[in-house]
A and B are shown apart, each in its own frame.
Chain A
Amino acid sequence: MGNNRDRALIIRCKRGDRKALGELIKNYERPIYNAAFRILGNPDDAADVTQIVFLRAFERLDQYNPEYKFFSWIYRIAINESINQKNRTRNLQSFNDEEMAVQNDPEIAIDADRVSDIIQASLMELQEDYRVVVVLRHFSDLSYRDISGILQIPEKTVKSRLYSARQLMKTELNARGVT
């Protein structure tokens, strides 16, 4: 995601250009929605969070420092809002239970969709700070440095959380028949 392009779009938005607004939202709607979905495990909550993220971002755009990457800034809002949403709605357990109930049936063939569901269910088993780094690394495809900037933690912490998270994911996936 190009920061120069984002900056140009923001300037146009500030002049009232709704097409630029549409373009900015188009660029980030999908990644923000997916990050939120992987953290929350629920499509409705992810859609709510995506909308809130953009509202918050535009509400606070005066606070955005263009010297920094726009995507880091909006991702930070997305992570915070996802965590807030998770705290607000405690409906994740039912999702996990359902997924776990399905995946433990050895008679059911594991196809790509099921693997995706199992991955999501395994992700939901991770503690939140581990899940967030996994999402940013693997689903948002961000570097250690970017993750460190977004979460405002040292790179060393990013690495150690990823290390622990992957070890746990390995155990979870093995237990659910994904090898």
Chain B
Amino acid sequence: MLEERIAELIQADVDGELGPEQRAEVTRALEQSEEARVFHSEMLRVARHLTDAPDKEPPWGLRRKIIDSIELPSMGGFANNWFRPAGYGLAMAAGVVLALGVVSIAPMKSNDFGSLVGTMVNKGQAVAGKPEAGLTIEQPEINGQVWLKNLDEAWVVEFDLASDESVEVVIDLDSAGMSFGGFAGQADYSGDENLEVSGGEVRVVNQGSRHFVLFLRSIPGAEIKPQKIEVAMNRKGELIFQGTLQSRG
């Protein structure tokens, strides 16, 4: 039977909680006792399995939902009760507004993606489909996420971004073999004012917390699946972020 003190020391050793003297004591115990060695190896194995288990990715939009549900005092303002979280009701409402926002804007001009937007309404989801690729942006000027998603019959690039000042987001669709099919954003975020399409390049201006979607259509004769979409972000003409949405397979 392994001495209780030695068992405790072995546990602490596995957790990296021992000083040099105690570690030397564990080393001695391991040299002298087969039972200690077996116990040590078992505990290490269990600890390794637990530590090696991969992190789970928080769901898309959770961070934005949390941020949007918390009210801060206005800049420079102060009060005893600094924070006024909006609570569950408003948090839920934020999610609903987000969902409604996406569907409240018609797709751009000549592109007929109306049926797709309708599908999203019926599903009651702003963001449908499995992410094929994603980018996380963590720059001082802008942060958020970009996802390439496959909706049943179409591809979309979805943006959830936050920037204090105006940041230009440039999406190169040429290398993806796709062309621009439509834009959907929050109710107060119009494609007419914030979007420019030129050849295979789409430029969107982001300022504040914005959630928007670009619908893609395949170019005749090209691959149906977008292979690679380049995303760049510029602040005052200076490149601040560059990334590639690379689809699997």
**Which residues on A are within 8 Å of B, measured CB to CB?**
13-19, 21-23, 25-26, 29-30, 33-34, 37, 43, 46-47, 50-52, 54-56, 58-59, 61-62, 112, 115-116, 119-120, 134, 137-139, 141, 143-144, 159, 162-163, 166, 169-170, 173, 178-179
The answer on a CB contact under 8 Å between B15 and A22 is: no
A159 to B66, CA, bound (A): 35
Q: Classify the interface of chain B: helix, strand, loop or mixed.
A: mixed
The answer on a CB contact under 8 Å between A13 and B58 is: no
Residues of B within 8 A of A23 (CB): 143
The answer on a CB contact under 8 Å between B54 and A116 is: yes
Chain B interface size range: 35 or more
Residues of A within 8 A of B63 (CB): 22, 25-26, 29
Say if the beta carbon of B74 comes within 8 Å of chain A: yes
A29 to B46, CA, bound (A): 27
A40 to chain B, nearest CB (A): 11
- Pick the residue among A21, A22, A56, A115 that contacts B53 (CB under 8 A): A115
The answer on a CB contact under 8 Å between B47 and A138 is: yes
- Pick the residue among A34, A54, A170 that contacts B55 (CB under 8 A): A34
Interface stretch among B6-14, B104-112, B178-186, B227-235? B6-14
The answer on a CB contact under 8 Å between B49 and A61 is: no
| B78-102 interface with A by 8 A CB criterion | 78, 80-83, 85-88, 91
Q: Which residue of A lies closest to B81 (CB)?
A: A62
13 CB contacts below 8 A, A to B, read: A25-B63, A33-B58, A34-B56, A51-B91, A54-B70, A58-B83, A116-B54, A120-B53, A138-B51, A143-B15, A144-B12, A169-B46, A170-B45
A141 to B55, CA, bound (A): 12
